[in-house]
Every structure is written in C-alpha cells, then in structure tokens.
Amino acid sequence: MKKHKEKFQILGAILIVSLATLWAFQKPDTVKDGTSDAEIGLTIPKGFLIVPLDLVNSRQISGMINRFGVLDVFNARANRLIAKNLHVLKISNDETSSFGALVPEDKAASLQILFADKNLKGALKTMTQDPAE
C-alpha cells in the first residue's frame, strides 16, 4: 500500500512539472507594441492573405484604429471608390503607420498592385477586435 502511494506521489509530481513546463513554453513573446508575434498569424482566416495598403491619410487613420478596422478606400485624385468594407490590420505603431488589407488569396496579386497606388485614402467605417468579423 505504501509503495502505491509513493508511485502516485511521483506520478503527480511528474505531471505537475510537465504541465508547468508546457505552460511556460506556450507563452508567446511580446513585441514593442504589446502584441504577440503569434497574434497576427492566429487571426488570418484560411484562404486569405494580408497585403500592404499604402494610404495618404494613414497617420490620421492610425489614430482611430487600435489594431483592426473596416475601411472604404478611395482614389483621392480620381474621387472614386476602390474598395468597400475592406478589413485592415494596423501593422506598425510609429509615426508612419502601415496597414495591411485582408484579401482573398486568389485576388492578392492584383489587389497588391492596386493598393500600392500613392493616391489612396481610407475612410473608417468600424473598429473591430478581429479582422474576420
């Protein structure tokens, strides 16, 4: 009986140490803006990619978006709607904030060329917690 009790104690100790080790290595590292390296990858839905979005008014939009948002994108020079209800991700928090657009994987190449236009402006529609909302 005493031998079984010792075995259970040893097994219990091994289990606790194993769980503590797993927990310690599961915590993602944080980057300077307080988000985790894994956070972006976990929020991109299957079949979508993030492509760079160059906005003339990125500094102003950056002040309104914490991490994710939904924008309408216009060509400022042609006064024409380019994209409606575009889900965006704030990529950087410096003075020249960068954004990425969540787009279907099969349309990423053509949209990347379109979103590189230096005359694009964004108009904020909503702020979301997750780009898939």
Alpha-carbon gap, residue 34 to 97, rounded angstroms? 16
Q: Note the pLDDT tens digit of each residue in 66-105.
A: 888 899 999 988 889 999 999 988 887 666 678 889 999 9
| Residue 109 backbone phi and psi in degrees, to 5 | -65, -50
The model's pTM: 0.61
In the chain, how long is the greatest CA-to-CA distance?
Answer: 85
